[in-house]
Chain A
Amino acid sequence: MCGFGGYFGTLHEGERLLRAMTRALRHRGPDEEGVFVAPQAGLAHTRLSIVGLSDGQQPMRDASGDLVIAFNGEIFNYVELREELRGRGRRFRTSSDTEVILHLYDEMGEDCVSRLNGDFAFAIWDARRRRMVLARDRMGVRPLFYTQHGGTFWFASEVKALLQVPGVEAAMDPVALDQIFTLWAPIAPRTPFRNIFELEPASLMVVDANGVATRPYWRLEFPDEGEPSRHRDEAAAAEELRALLTDATRLRMRADVPVGSYLSGGLDSSIVSALAAGMTPQTLRTFSVTFDSAEHDESAFQAEMARALGTRHEAVHCGEGDIAAVFPDVVRFTERPILRTAPAPLFRLSGLVREAGLKVVLTGEGADEVFAGYDIFKEARVRRFCGRQPGSRIRPHLFRKLYPYLPGLQQQSAEYLAAFFGAGNDPLDDPLFSHRPRLRGTAAAKLFFSPDLRAALCGYDAAEEMASLLPEDFRRWHPLHRAQYLESRFLLPGYILSSQGDRMAMAHGIEGRFPFLDHRLVEFAAGLPPEMKLKGLTEKHILREATRDILPPLIGRRPKQPYRAPDSRSFTGAGALDYVAAAMSEERVAANGLFNPKAVAKLAAKCAGGQAAGFRDNAAFVGVLSTQLWVETFTAAGAGVARAA
Chain B
Amino acid sequence: MTDSIRDDVRAFIVENFLFGDATQAPADGASLIENDIIDSTGVLELVAFIEERFGIVMADADIVPANLDSLDRIAAFVAGRSAAARTQAAE
Residue positions of A touching B, CB distance < 8 A: 406, 408-409, 411-413, 415-416, 419-420, 425, 440-441, 443-444, 447-448, 596, 598-600, 602-603, 606, 611, 613-616
Chain B nearest CB, measured from A628 CB (Å): 16
Among A411, A611, A615, residue most surrounded by chain B Cβ atoms (within 10 Å):
A411
Chain A nearest CB, measured from B32 CB (Å): 9
- Contact between A413 and B41, CB atoms less than 8 A apart: no
Cβ-neighbour of B20 out of A411, A413, A602, A616 (below 8 A): A602
Q: Which of B33-88 contact A (CB under 8 A)?
A: 33-34, 36-37, 39-45, 60-61, 63-66, 69
- Contact between A596 and B21, CB atoms less than 8 A apart: yes
Among B18, B39, B40, B61, residue most surrounded by chain A Cβ atoms (within 10 Å):
B40
Q: Beyond A406-B40, A416-B63, A599-B18: 9 further Cβ-contacts under 8 Å?
A: A408-B41, A412-B43, A413-B60, A413-B64, A416-B40, A420-B39, A443-B36, A448-B19, A611-B45
- Contact between A614 and B41, CB atoms less than 8 A apart: yes
Q: Which residues of A contact B63 (CB under 8 A)?
A: 412-413, 416
- Interface residues of chain A: helix, strand, loop or mixed (majority): helix
Q: Which residues of A contact B69 (CB under 8 A)?
A: 419
| Contact of A408 with B40 at beta-carbon distance under 8 Å, contacts A413-B64, A447-B19 already known | yes
Decide if B7 is an interface residue (CB 8 Å cutoff): no
Complex CA–CA separation, A354 to B84 (angstroms): 68
14 pairs from A and B in contact (CB 8 Å cutoff): A412-B63, A416-B64, A420-B39, A440-B36, A447-B19, A447-B21, A596-B19, A599-B19, A599-B20, A600-B19, A602-B19, A614-B39, A614-B41, A616-B42
Chain B nearest CB, measured from A408 CB (Å): 4
Cβ-neighbour of A447 out of B18, B41, B42, B45 (below 8 A): B18
Using an 8 Å CB-CB cutoff, how does the interface string of B4-18 with A read, 1 for contact, 0 for none? 000000000001101
Complex CA–CA separation, A606 to B34 (angstroms): 23
Chain B nearest CB, measured from A329 CB (Å): 29
Closest to A616 in B: B39
Complex CA–CA separation, A566 to B5 (angstroms): 36
Question: Considering only CB atoms and an 8 Å cut-off, how many residues of chain B contact the other chain?
Answer: 25
| Contact of A598 with B41 at beta-carbon distance under 8 Å, contacts A413-B63, A415-B65 already known | no
Closest to B15 in A: A602
Complex CA–CA separation, A599 to B24 (angstroms): 12
Chain A nearest CB, measured from B52 CB (Å): 14
Q: Which 4 A-B pairs have the closest CB atoms?
A: A614-B41, A599-B19, A602-B19, A444-B36
- Contact between A411 and B44, CB atoms less than 8 A apart: yes
Cβ-neighbour of B33 out of A408, A419, A606 (below 8 A): A419
Q: Which residues of A contact B36 (CB under 8 A)?
A: 440-441, 443-444
Chain B nearest CB, measured from A415 CB (Å): 4
Complex CA–CA separation, A419 to B15 (angstroms): 23
Among B19, B34, B63, B64, residue most surrounded by chain A Cβ atoms (within 10 Å):
B19
Chain A nearest CB, measured from B21 CB (Å): 5
- Contact between A419 and B65, CB atoms less than 8 A apart: yes
Q: Which residues of B contact A408 (CB under 8 A)?
A: 40-41, 44
Q: Which residues of B contact A413 (CB under 8 A)?
A: 60-61, 63-64
Closest to B47 in A: A411
Cβ-neighbour of A603 out of B19, B60, B64 (below 8 A): B19
- Contact between A412 and B40, CB atoms less than 8 A apart: yes
Complex CA–CA separation, A388 to B44 (angstroms): 28
Among B21, B39, B69, residue most surrounded by chain A Cβ atoms (within 10 Å):
B39
| Contact of A613 with B21 at beta-carbon distance under 8 Å, contacts A416-B64, A419-B65, A425-B34 already known | no
Cβ-neighbour of A441 out of B24, B39, B43 (below 8 A): B39
Q: Which residues of B contact A411 (CB under 8 A)?
A: 44
Chain B nearest CB, measured from A411 CB (Å): 7
- Contact between A444 and B39, CB atoms less than 8 A apart: yes
Chain B nearest CB, measured from A603 CB (Å): 5
Q: Which residues of A contact B18 (CB under 8 A)?
A: 447, 599
Among A406, A413, A596, A603, residue most surrounded by chain B Cβ atoms (within 10 Å):
A413
Complex CA–CA separation, A167 to B63 (angstroms): 58
Closest to A411 in B: B44
Chain B nearest CB, measured from A441 CB (Å): 7
Q: Which residues of A contact B21 (CB under 8 A)?
A: 447, 596, 599
Chain B nearest CB, measured from A425 CB (Å): 7
- Contact between A409 and B65, CB atoms less than 8 A apart: no
Chain B nearest CB, measured from A413 CB (Å): 5
Q: Which residues of A contact B20 (CB under 8 A)?
A: 598-599, 602
Closest to A451 in B: B23
Complex CA–CA separation, A606 to B41 (angstroms): 14
Complex CA–CA separation, A614 to B20 (angstroms): 18
Chain A nearest CB, measured from B65 CB (Å): 5
Q: Which residues of A contact B19 (CB under 8 A)?
A: 447-448, 596, 598-600, 602-603, 606
Q: Which residues of A contact B42 (CB under 8 A)?
A: 614, 616
Chain A nearest CB, measured from B37 CB (Å): 8
Closest to B61 in A: A413
- Contact between B66 and A420, CB atoms less than 8 A apart: no
- Contact between A409 and B40, CB atoms less than 8 A apart: yes
Complex CA–CA separation, A126 to B47 (angstroms): 68
Q: Which residues of A contact B39 (CB under 8 A)?
A: 420, 441, 444, 614-616
